[in-house]
Chains A and B, each alone.
Chain A
Amino acid sequence: MSGTVALAEITDAEIVPGALLEAVSSDGHGAALLFLGTVRDHADGRPVSGMRYEAYLEMAERVMTEIAGAAAERMEAGALAVVHRIGTLDLREASVGIAVATPHRAPAYEVNRWIIEEIKRRLPVWKHEHYADGDAAWVEGTPLEADA
């Protein structure tokens, strides 16, 4: 038994939280948990005005499908939806959305957290931070490890 993947994608469209929750909804679920990663207005004390996300698209789609599939296998039942946005985002906009719904709450929390940590560790996406003073810089990331 495992959960199902309702959605796993990279998109340049706005992330709609209700659509993610709808994608994982089922009469058999007693818990639905939504995580949104959003653009904040500061980085290391420096005012930020926005962010541009870039992906190695073909690889990112493969890795996202892998992460979602592995996450579904960590659940005995339920469904998940995960989406990462690319392009230019304003403050407060969601760059990543993860919905996990399960019959009981514990695996929803566990799997939702697992997915965002895997995204940060493996998804070939980079962010170019735009500062309020007009400057911009690539955000330092996590070195990729070789695939097993």
Chain B
Amino acid sequence: MQIDVLFFASYRELAGAERRSVTLPEGASAGDLVARLRSLDESLARLPDTAAVVVNHHVVRPDHSIAPSDEVALLPPVAGG
């Protein structure tokens, strides 16, 4: 399945774009997604372990399965306030 991943703030700079498309096997998990992103290029290989995978606006655990219709985003540690 093809997943469009949204990137914000420092991760947008790592990814070089606001969104990147990745191909994942059906039933792939959030952890699989991060591993796949890290394999795309040297810059994304530097994605830290503190990256949060967000599916449909909720932060998910690494074992969460991703569906083709999901809105998926990768978020750096937050710094509001």
B17 close to A (CB within 8 Å): no
Q: Are the CB atoms of A144 and B8 closer together than 8 Å?
A: no
Which residue of A37, A116, A123, A147 contacts B78 across the interface (Cβ within 8 Å)? A123
Interface set, chain A 122-148, CB cutoff 8 A to B: 122-128, 138-147
Question: Which one of A26-34, A53-61, A69-77 is at the B interface?
Answer: A53-61
Query: Given that A119-B80, A123-B80 are contacting pairs, would A58 and B57 also be in contact in the complex, using a CB cutoff of 8 Å?
Result: yes
Subset of 10 A-B contacts with CB under 8 Å: A54-B8, A56-B6, A56-B57, A62-B57, A119-B81, A121-B78, A126-B10, A141-B77, A143-B52, A146-B60
A113 close to B (CB within 8 Å): no
Residue of B with least CB distance to A53: B80
In which size bucket is the chain B interface? 20 to 34
Residues of A near any B CB (own CB < 8 A)? 37, 53-56, 58-59, 62-63, 84, 95-96, 116, 119-128, 138-147
B residues near A144, Cβ cutoff 8 Å: 52, 54, 59, 75, 77-78
Interface flags for B27-52 (1: CB within 8 Å of A; 0: not) read: 00000000000000000000000101
A residues near B61, Cβ cutoff 8 Å: 146
Extra inter-chain contacts (11) besides given A124-B8, A145-B59, A147-B59, CB under 8 Å:
A37-B81, A54-B8, A58-B57, A120-B78, A122-B78, A124-B78, A127-B79, A138-B79, A141-B76, A142-B79, A144-B77
